Amino acid sequence: MSKNKSEYLINRHDNQYEVVIGLEVHAQVSSQSKLFSTSSTKFGAEPNTQVSLVDAAFPGMLPVINEYCVKQAIKTGIGLKAKINKRSIFDRKNYFYADLPQGYQISQFKDPIVGEGKVILDMPDGQKEVGIERLHLEQDAGKSIHDLDPKNTFVDLNRSGVALMEIVSKPDLRSPDEVNAYIKKLRSIMRYLGTCDGNMQEGSLRADVNVSVRKKGSKDFGTRCEIKNVNSIKFMQMAIEYEANRQVDLIEDGQKIDQETRLFDTKKNETRSMRSKEDAHDYRYFPDPDLLPLEVSDDFIENLKSEIPELPDEKKKRFIEKFKLSPYEANILVSDIETSNYFENVIKKSDVKLATNWIIGELFAALNEKNLEITESPISAGNLSKLINLIKDGTISGKIAKTVFEQMMEGDKDPKKIVEEKGLKQESDPKALEALIDKVIDDNRDKATEYKSGKVKLFGFFVGQVMKVSGGKANPQLVNEILKKKL
Amino acid sequence: MSDITIQSLSLLVENIKSKKLSSSEVTKAFVDRSEKSKELNAYITEDYANALNKAKMFDEKPNLDLKLPGIPMAVKDLFCTKDLRTTAGSKILNNFVPTYESTVTQNIWNEGAILMGKLNCDEFAMGSSNETSFFGNVQNPIDKNLVPGGSSGGSSSAVAAQLTPITIGTDTGGSIRQPASFTGTVGLKPTYGSCSRYGIVAFASSLDQAGPMAQNVKDCALLQEVISTYDEKDSTSIDFKRNEYSKELTKNIKGKKIGIPKEYRVDGMPKEIEDLWKKGIEYAKDCGAEIIDISLPHTNYALPTYYIVAPAEASSNLARYDGVKYGFRAEGENLIDMYEKTRSEGFGAEVQRRIMIGTYVLSSGYYDAYYLKAQKVRKLIKNDFDDAYKKVDAILTPSTPSSAFKIGEKTNDPVSMYLNDIFTVPVNLAGLPGISIPAGHDARGYPLGLQIIGRAFDEQNILNIAYAMEEKINFKNNITDWWIK
């Protein structure tokens, strides 16, 4: 057994295997136009309506770098605490495919725009640092559509030339859970920065997953296989589990692992060989002579640094220090920028502790049930903060607040109005409460006698009765006090 | 009317501006002569009816403030021209009609010139004799059996034969200067980054440069003034202060220091080339220039370096001609089969050879030994020139190691063909401007050219030296119109 409860190991006979994972994440740069042309990048347009002469590689057409995409890549680099390379070079990666009009992809090979950096993961048993090897800019290819016609393949070039950031991690990940946390953290950082929308359904974020296994304690890396183009976290985790077990089985069987590129079949939940090392493409990388080396000045980088918002790690630290949140609460609230914005808007005018509980508890559950994002929340931050104030100042009880909350979920109504309209205001008038309590004691004489003779547990019964008779509106604190006196 | 086509560009402009001639008269004269000169095979695509129409429209509303008012002109078929077929001399683009215009040609039309048609060239500008064109050989107006040089062979032939008053070519390793030398005309390869590459079918991107070809230096200067502009659409275009080359042209080159590189005395160079060079030195001295012996020590490596860099870039640049999007497509069983058939049938032998060489030198395991080393040598060659320009203002060399050769003479010997570029290639590798001017004849009466190489962005200086020497040389081309029946 492992001493660390979150350690992910594969056991076979007497052997324990550790899984070593590195990711190459392809993140689509959020930008209006493509990396080297002015065509739109908008998702979901009619096929081949967002294609310039450059994207379709017409004779004599030349790429011109989109400065905005360069800024986005550098910002992302800053967010990954990475080294920004003041000089980087665009290379051509040569291969033939129908959806690659130029016959080469413009990418960065030897000299990427961003060098080494790191990402901090919050795992159940503590923090883990994952190294970033590099980040480079490259063009996306078009899309081949094979299922529209029995004989022909159709090509949609709308994606052709869209800017991607390839973010290469070091082989620092050790489990599907860490991969999950890593992707979510990367996504969160980029969404904070506004450099990638992280929308996996639309293909804005996908990854090549490198997997190898080794006996626990070994320092050497095993032979790795690369699983290409996996487009959801769940599939990445499934692919890793399958692939790691496949490799362990091979080793246990005395067989060799071939270094190869594999595909994950989501229907069969298995990885399949795509091409071996021998069949690997020779991409004939060389510097693109149509583009000069990309040079950025210190000022350019400093200006971008000044535009960087507070990122999740720093925000988390602040939430813990300033608002006394637990690390768990802080993690949840900073995980995406919209949630943290919502939270900060709510606590502008209301109690932090209550707000934290209501957002993480009631609101998240309600949104989940309706399958809504925080940005689509029917309850605005302002109204949630009003609701919390109604609880705080004793106007309504926590229990009544839940009823009010449910009504607010039906449409963003002012909780004060709901309380007024439905007469849900808490009864805090001692005289009115005394009358109520007298009646309850009167009606339950026998139980009152039992209480007095020592059956103190019955106190709860009386509180419940008072609340029931008041329709839940009685101020529980006052009810307690008065009951104690009267009984 | 027949005296119109013998006029220089400068004279035609003057005559149109002073209304002695109309654009229609001039255009008709060049169209008529072009029609009578089909045997030269200088044109790939003719656009005469449109040209005459445009000339008529110009005459109806003449704008005489333009630099090329109503001047008809045919251009090398490597420049994309909107709505007019652009083939690059290849079967693979046989049916390709661009929807866009190259920056260089757009600059020309903006100054009032009129397109007459597209001129023959070696396939994708790969060749030194115009024999690799899918559209057949071009004949040199000097002699029926001679090549006009290449790759801008249609351009040189058309200017020498006066089918167009002036033209533009492209020069990757000598493709303007060598054909100019073979036809007794003037050709300028500008500094890399001077003329936009936007809309020019790419051969080798780090070497390709468009430039003017003309009957004389002054016309060349005027056209350079028109075509050289900074262009944001070409990332390698350079934003420097461009002269009004024709206005600032002067024959006063007194005290200019002209270097003579000893490494250009190559083994087996014909005596007449040696003599021409000596004569050139004397002419330069006569003009008041100071002659200084210099050394460009890495000259020997220029040709092998070029034949690694250029094919490497070409192999990648030509990958887009795959039958998928435009141009020629051969049917195939599947995608790979379609690629193979399209490219085997669509490209000629020389283009295929260079794609093979380029693919090889970029392959993993060979990249360092060939491509990377070639890039290092390229830097050394550039350094040679930088060192030389500490001592001199320009460099004088022969343009080619021989006069024009016979059609078919070198087609089966690519290396001997490549050797033709030996004096021109270093200039492209260093990104410098170079001009070839006609300077004499060999024993058979074939023209020979001298090359003047300048500092980067110093086109004005080499144009001035060429202008001064041109007067001393007083070259006359022996053209008999043998092809006109």
Q: Which domain holds residue A186?
A: 20-304
The reported pLDDT for the residue numbered A438 is 85
B 15-54 near A (Cβ less than 8 A): none
Write the pLDDT tens digit of every residue in A29-44. Answer: 999 999 999 999 999 9
> Rounded to an integer, what distance in angstroms lies between the CA atom of residue B308 and that of residue A403?
78
CA distance B134 to B349: 10
Res. A226: pLDDT tops 90: yes
pTM, two decimal places: 0.92
Predicted confidence (pLDDT) per residue in B40-92, tens digit: 999 999 999 999 999 999 999 999 999 999 999 999 999 999 999 999 999 99
Q: What is the pLDDT of residue A4?
A: 55
- Measured between beta carbons, the chain B residues lying within 8 angstroms of A94 are 315-316, 319, 362
Residue A59 and residue B96: Cβ atoms within 8 Å?
yes
Tell me, yes or no, whether A221 and A150 share the same domain.
Answer: yes
In B, minimum Cα distance to A93 occurs at: B316
A57 contacts B367? CB cut-off 8 A? no
> In the predicted model, is pLDDT for residue A52 greater than 80?
yes
Contact assignment for A96 to B339 by CB distance below 8 Å: yes
Q: Say if residue A486's pLDDT is above 80.
A: no
Query: Do A248 and A362 lie in a common domain?
Result: no
A101 to B324: CB separation less than 8 angstroms, yes or no: yes
**What mean pLDDT comes out for the span B114-131?**
98
**A232 and A289 within one domain:** yes
Say if CB B101 and CB B81 are below 8 A apart.
yes
> What is the rounded average pLDDT of the residues A55-72?
98
| Residues A223 and A315 placed together within one structural domain of the fold | no
Question: Average pLDDT for residues A334-358, to the nearest whole number?
Answer: 94
Instruction: Say if A179 falls within a structural domain.
Output: yes
**Residue B65 exposed, middle or buried by CB count within 10 Å (0-12, 13-18, 19+):** exposed
Residue B127: strand, helix, or coil: coil
Which pLDDT tens digit goes with each residue over B213-269? 999 999 999 999 999 999 999 999 999 999 999 999 999 999 999 999 999 998 888
A389 and A434 belong to one structural domain? no
Q: Are residues A362 and A228 in the same domain?
A: no
B336 CA: distance to closest CA in chain A (Å): 9
Confidence of residue A5 (pLDDT cuts 50, 70, 90): low
Nearest by CB to residue A62, choosing from B233, B315, B325, is B233
How many domains would you assign to chain A?
A: 3
Residues of B in contact with A153 (CB under 8 A): 335
Cβ contact (<8 Å) for B313 and A289?
yes
Are residue A192 and residue A232 in the same domain, yes or no?
A: yes
Closest chain B residue to A95 measured between Cα atoms?
B319
Whether residue A406 is found in the same domain as residue A266: no
pLDDT at residue A3 in the model: 46
Q: Where are the alpha helices (DSSP H) in A11-105?
A: 67-79
Which has more confidence, A53 or B420? A53
Higher pLDDT, A461 or B278: B278
Q: Which DSSP string do the residues of B107-125 spell out, in sequence order?
A: HHHHTT-EEEEEE--SGGG
Mutate to test the interface with B, among A48, A100, A286 (most CBs of B within 10 A): A286
CB A227 within 8 Å of CB A271? yes
For residue A487, the model assigns a pLDDT of: 74
Residues B286 and A80: their CA atoms lie apart, in Å, by 68
Within an 8 Å CB–CB cutoff, is residue B389 touching chain A? Answer: no
> Using 50, 70 and 90 to split pLDDT, how confident is the model at A479?
confident
Give the confidence band of A448 by pLDDT, cuts at 50, 70, 90. Answer: confident
Retrieve residue B77's tokens: 């078929």
The last residue of one of the domains, among A286, A304, A322, is A304
Report if residue A84 sits inside a domain: yes
Please state, in angstroms and rounded to a whole number, the distance separating the CA atoms of residues B148 and B349.
20
Cβ atoms of B259 and B388 within 8 Å: the answer is yes
Q: What is the DSSP string of B131-194?
A: TT-TT----BTTBTTB---SSSHHHHHHHHTTSSSEEEEE-SSSTTHHHHHHHT-EEEEPPTTS
CB B359 within 8 A of CB B224: no
Asked whether the beta carbons of residue A65 and residue B88 sit closer than 8 angstroms, the reply is no
Find the closest chain B residue to A94 by CA distance. Answer: B316
Concatenating the DSSP letter of every residue in A285-352 gives: -EE-TTSPPEE--HHHHHHHHHTPPPPHHHHHHHHHHHH---HHHHHHHHSSHHHHHHHHHHHTSS-H
Closest-CA distance, A294 to chain B, in angstroms, reads: 11
Q: How far apart are CA A158 and CA B418, in angstroms?
A: 42
Is the dihedral angle over the CA atoms B343, B349, B351, B355 positive or is it negative?
positive
Alpha-carbon distance B120 to nearest alpha carbon in chain A (angstroms): 17
Report the alpha-carbon distance of residue B291 to residue B256 in Å, rounded: 9
Nearest-CA distance from B106 to chain A in Å?
Answer: 14
Note whether A289 contacts B86, CB cutoff 8 Å. no
Mention every residue, 6+ apart, whose C-beta is less than 8 A from residue A316. Answer: A327, A330, A331, A334
For residue B314, pLDDT over 60 is answered with yes
CA of B330, closest CA in chain A: separation in Å? 15
Chain B, nearest residue to A106 by Cα: B316
Alpha-carbon dihedral angle through residues A192, A362, A415, A482, given to the nearest 10 degrees: -140
Look at residues A284, A304, A324 and tell me which one is the last residue of a structural domain: A304
Q: What type of residue sits at position B73?
A: M
Q: Does A484 have pLDDT greater than 90?
A: no
Q: Say yes or no to pLDDT of A1 above 50.
A: no
What is the identity of the amino acid at A383?
N
Q: What average pLDDT does range A7-14 have in this prediction?
A: 91
Q: For residue A53, give the nearest of B100, B202, B324 by CB distance.
A: B100
Contacts of A361 by beta carbon, 8 Å cutoff, 6+ apart:
none
Q: Give one DSSP letter per residue of B335-358, joined into a string.
A: HHHHHHHHHHHHS-HHHHHHHHHH
Interface probe, candidates A62, A94, A282, chain B, greatest B C-beta count within 10 A: A62
Q: Is residue A80, in this structure, part of any structural domain at all?
A: yes
Question: Residue A62: which of B99, B198, B359 has the nearest Cβ?
Answer: B198
How confident is residue A281, by pLDDT bands cut at 50, 70 and 90?
confident
Q: What rounded mean pLDDT belongs to chain B? A: 97
Q: Is B199 in contact with A92 (Cβ distance < 8 A)?
A: no
Q: How much is the pLDDT for A2?
A: 42
| Closest CA in chain B for residue A280 | B364
> Chain B partners of A149 at a C-beta cutoff of 8 Å?
none
Domain containing residue A456: CATH number: 1.10.10.410
DSSP 8-state assignment for residue B299: G
CA dist B334 and B336 (Å) reads 6
Is there a single domain that holds both residue A385 and residue A434? no
Specify whether A207 is located in the same domain as A317: no
Q: Residue A447's pLDDT is what?
A: 85
Of the three residues A273, A304, A335, the one that is the final residue of a domain is A304
Chain B residue numbers with beta carbons less than 8 Å from the beta carbon of A155 are: 324
The reported pLDDT for the residue numbered A177 is 96
Per cent of chain B over pLDDT 70 is: 100
Contacting residues of B for A292, CB less than 8 Å apart: 235-236
Question: Is A65 within 8 Å of B363 when comparing Cβ atoms?
Answer: no
Q: How far apart are CA A110 and CA A120, in angstroms?
A: 26
Assigned domain for A8 exists: no
Give B263→chain A minimum CA distance, Å.
29
Does residue A98 belong to any structural domain of this protein?
Answer: yes
Of A60, A96, A101, the CB nearest to B202: A60
Question: B468 φ, ψ to 5°?
Answer: -65, -45
Instruction: Give per-residue pLDDT as tens, B1-30.
Output: 459 999 999 999 999 999 999 999 999 999
Shared domain check, A120 and A209: yes
| Distance of alpha carbon B325 from alpha carbon A55, whole angstroms | 11
Task: Please list the active-site residues of B.
Answer: 76, 151, 175
Name chain A contacts of B363, Cβ cutoff 8 Å.
Answer: 282, 284
- Type of residue found at B10: S
3-state secondary structure B405-446: CECCCCCCCHHHHHHHHCCCHHHHHHCCCEEEEEEEECCCCC
CB of B326 less than 8 A from some CB of A: yes
**One domain for residues A367 and A461:** no
Nearest to A414 by CA among A440, A434, A395, A433: A395
Provide the chain B residues 402-461 that lie in CB contact (below 8 A) with chain A: none
CB pairs under 8 A between A and B: 94
Q: Which of A126-135, A400-409, A470-479, B80-89 has the lowest mean pLDDT?
A: A470-479
- Residues B249, B218: contact at Cβ < 8 Å? yes
> Would the pLDDT of A411 be above 90?
no
Closest Cβ opposite residue A284 in set B80, B232, B359: B359
